[in-house]
């Protein structure tokens, strides 16, 4: 981000923002000598525990000893951002401490050279794979272009006839058409990913369908439409909080984020993360005001659960598809959730599309 160097002779304040003086020439505007590049920074660190809080303490009536809540504010960072907490004490866990400069900058990841041999399974070697790819992926009706591709494969200097001479093509086609799900069901009678250790459960789903009182079979009848594969939300939350790398960036306590460009300007509320939103703060305060569990003095926190689902095609040809249900946690930054490399999406369910075909019975006269 480019910011102008402060100069009392050529800058003045307009709504708290520095603006160049009209007397500066166009040449000065086009030059970058009067600007400095500020690298991205994380949010300001928490103040030391010895720092006195701001504002008057607030006591909430509730069972047990009164809890005194106070306002804690962090210093301003280079962009004028300030965090403000309203709690009994400063948080003991600060996810912003684990943010590195590489997390704030979009830069390409250098390619890592690998000496490992490529895996062409279920094909035994590269030449068999190339012929199989030509047969399956270049159209059922072969053309001159496909014939030229075939000539390019068998005419290559690296092509050896002995590589494909003893290839069992029917077995390879069978392996390509099957999957681990089918093998596990044949061997054990249950799906591999239905292991109880993974927390998956199968629940049959029935839908009550009403029929007119003048039909042959009036009333409401339950129809089985399929099985719902799902995980317990409590198990997913426990798994998340037991994952040490993820917990480091997990916000247990919300805060308000303000922008204050100068010490004399007023605070401007900044919205961007779920754990800085008014809804999250209200839910957190309601939880703190609620009665505690008998004999429990652990910290109580809100876990924000965000759900998402989208259709996924299961085959290259055909219309078979599945609807995976994903769970994201709003306690994690949106900049981390949008990175596939962070692996923050949790599978919690698999939905099936249901098509109901109702046949109308004869209506008695």
- Comparing 78-82, 188-192, 298-302, 342-346, the range with the smallest average pLDDT is 188-192
End-to-end Cα spacing for the chain:
80
SS3 341: helix
Per the prediction, the chain carries an average pLDDT of 77
pTM here is 0.62
What whole-number distance in Å separates Cα of residue 283 and Cα of residue 304?
10
Locate 234 and state its tokens. 């409590």
User: Which residues face 304 on adjacent strands?
Assistant: none
Residue 365: the pLDDT is 38
Q: Average pLDDT of 244-248?
A: 87
Domains of the chain, by residue range, sit at: 1-39, 46-97+253-294, 126-187, 195-232+304-351
Residue 58 has pLDDT above 70, yes or no: no
Q: Average pLDDT of 134-146?
A: 81
SS3 289: helix
* Identity of the highest mean pLDDT range in 40-44, 87-91, 332-336, 350-354: 332-336
Q: Average pLDDT of 172-190?
A: 61
pLDDT confidence band for 20 (50 / 70 / 90): very low
What whole-number distance in Å separates Cα of residue 188 and Cα of residue 157?
47
């Amino acid at each position: 981000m480019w910011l102008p160097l402060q100069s009392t002779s050529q800058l003045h304040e307009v709504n708290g923002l520095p603006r160049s003086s009209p007397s500066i020439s166009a040449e000065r505007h086009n030059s970058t000598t009067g600007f400095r590049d500020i690298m991205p920074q994380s949010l300001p660190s928490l103040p030391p525990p010895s720092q006195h809080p701001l504002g008057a303490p607030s006591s909430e009536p509730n069972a047990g000893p009164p809890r005194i809540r106070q306002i804690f504010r962090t210093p301003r960072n280079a962009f004028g951002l300030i965090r403000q907490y309203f709690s009994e004490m400063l948080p003991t866990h600060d996810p912003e401490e684990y943010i590195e400069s590489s997390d704030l900058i979009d830069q390409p990841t250098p390619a890592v050279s690998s000496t490992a041999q490529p895996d062409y399974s279920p094909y035994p070697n590269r030449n068999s794979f190339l012929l199989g790819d030509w047969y399956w992926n270049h159209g059922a009706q072969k053309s001159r272009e496909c014939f030229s591709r075939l000539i390019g494969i068998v005419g290559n200097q690296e092509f050896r006839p002995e590589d494909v001479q003893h290839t069992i093509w029917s077995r390879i086609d069978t392996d390509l058409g099957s999957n681990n799900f089918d093998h596990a069901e044949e061997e054990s009678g249950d799906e591999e990913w239905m292991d109880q250790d993974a927390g998956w459960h199968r629940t049959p789903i029935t839908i009550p369908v009403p029929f007119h009182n003048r039909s042959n079979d009036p009333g409401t009848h339950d129809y089985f439409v399929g099985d719902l594969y799902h995980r317990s939300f409590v198990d997913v939350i426990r798994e998340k909080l037991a994952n040490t790398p993820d917990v480091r960036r997990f916000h247990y306590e919300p805060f308000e984020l303000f922008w204050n460009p100068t010490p004399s300007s007023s605070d401007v509320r900044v919205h961007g993360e779920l754990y800085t939103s008014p809804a999250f703060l209200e839910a957190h305060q309601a939880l703190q005001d609620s009665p505690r569990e008998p004999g429990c003095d652990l910290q109580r926190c809100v876990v924000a659960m965000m759900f998402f689902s989208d259709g996924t095609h299961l085959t290259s040809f055909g219309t078979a598809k599945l609807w995976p249900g994903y769970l994201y946690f709003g306690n994690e930054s949106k900049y981390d959730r949008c990175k596939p490399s962070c692996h923050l999406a949790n599978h919690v369910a698999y939905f099936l599309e249901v098509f109901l075909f109702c046949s109308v019975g004869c209506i008695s006269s």
